[in-house]
Amino acid sequence: MLLKKTALALGILGFSFSLMVIPAEAAQNEAIIINKSNNQLAFYEKGTLQKVFPVATGRTRSLTPEGKFYLVNKVKNRPWYKENIPGGDPRNPLGARWLGIKVPGDWAHTSGNLYGVHGTNNPSSIGTYASSGCIRMYNKDVIWLYDRADKDIPVYITSSSSSFTALAQNYGVGNAKKVVAGYETFNDTLRYGSKGESVKILQRKLGISADGSFGKQTLLSVKNFQKSKGLVVDGIVGPKTRKAFFSN
């Protein structure tokens, strides 16, 4: 009888331990990566890149902190307490959703109140350096992210010329494949409306969905890259922009 009780106790302990391990494993396969150099946010789920979104970050580099943080709270239509504007009000600069990030120096008894990924009532600011530190998204995009991102997942914020694939591989996120520098190049001049394999290579280099069609998202990503490198911001991938892409 004692042997049976001992076995049962060990079985319960093992089951409890397995439940404790699951969230840690899930966190390795789900992550948010924000790259301030091109103002883009990538969401990884089940170890796979799901979507890349344009965002706005801090007016200066120091305003949006860099490092590994965690998503600790989620709020629908959060009020703008500073100006006493209720959630859902068109004047509310926090938009439709708030995903709070735990950053050193956060205030109050709960964390995730000072910095967060949130919507905006100023969509023209997306893609620029405009915030006081938070990460802004289009409302439709932050709603999509809110519905999928779990609490306690890692949020990586950086300023890098690397692709999201390379960043994810460096951070050990899920099934990210190892990137070999310079493994693919192209010699074409690409612009809005271009299509084909060269566009896919460009899109992979930018860390966005590689559909082979040079559309609005690719145009915005190229312009942000050109701006970060001090190039002419025309959205055309000619010799100078190509050289900048493949010089790393």
Q: Among all chains, which residue has been given the structure tokens 């002419």?
A: 232
- Active-site residue, from 126, 134, 157, 222: 134
Q: Which of 74, 97, 118, 205 is catalytic?
A: 118
Which two three-digit tokens encode residue 197? 């394999």
**Residue type (1 letter), 39:** N
User: Is 58 in contact with 131 (CB distance < 8 Å)?
Assistant: yes
Told to judge if 109 belongs to the known catalytic residues of this protein, a careful annotator would answer: no
Q: Is 124 left (phi over 0), alpha (psi -120 to 50) or beta?
A: alpha
Distance set, CA 179 to CA 67, 145, 176, 218 (Å): 21, 26, 9, 21
Any idea what DSSP says for residue 199?
H
Rounded to 5 degrees, φ, ψ at 23 are: -60, -40
Greatest Cα pair distance in the chain: 80
Task: Give the CB-side neighbour count of residue 214, counting CA atoms within 13 A.
Answer: 20
Asked if 30 and 45 touch (Cβ cutoff 8 Å), the reply is yes
Listed in sequence order, the DSSP H helices in the chain are 2-29, 139-148, 164-171, 197-206, 216-228, 239-245
Is residue 112 within 8 Å of residue 101, measured between CB atoms? yes
Residues classed as catalytic: 118, 134
